[in-house]
Amino acid sequence: MKLTDLKRLTARKTMEVSFPVPDGLECVVDSAGVARIPGLKAPPGFNLDQCVAEAESFTVRAGAGAAPRRASRAEVEQLVASLSGAAPAAPDHDE
């Protein structure tokens, strides 16, 4: 699972997903698919894709006003996998 997968998930399902990053901060991917790190004051010394790959727990908020809940990596991966049936794949044109 990559950061782009989380961005696509949050945008399509109108939800918010957050996960821990170094220095005790947290990355929040909002319902527009934008990843933000509140409290970050300088360019990060880490790669967000690597942080997603290493994250074992996430916080998921399914819509505005919904209570946040903790989710395991496996649960979030299932949500991401459910997207594959939600939209048809783009045709492959090798001409």
Q: What is the 3-state secondary structure (H, E, C) of the chain?
A: CCHHHHHHHHHHHCCEEEEEECCCEEEEECCCCCEECCCCCCCCCCCHHHHHHHCCEEEEECCCCCCCEEEEHHHHHHHHHHHHHCCCCCCCCCC
Strand partners, 72: 57
Model pLDDT, residue 88: 43
Q: What is the mean pLDDT of the chain?
A: 88
The pTM score is 0.82
Model pLDDT, residue 85: 62
pLDDT(65) > 50: yes
Model pLDDT, residue 7: 96
Q: CA torsion sign, 12 to 14 to 19 to 24?
A: positive
Mean pLDDT to the nearest integer, 44-69: 92
Mean pLDDT to the nearest integer, 73-93: 73
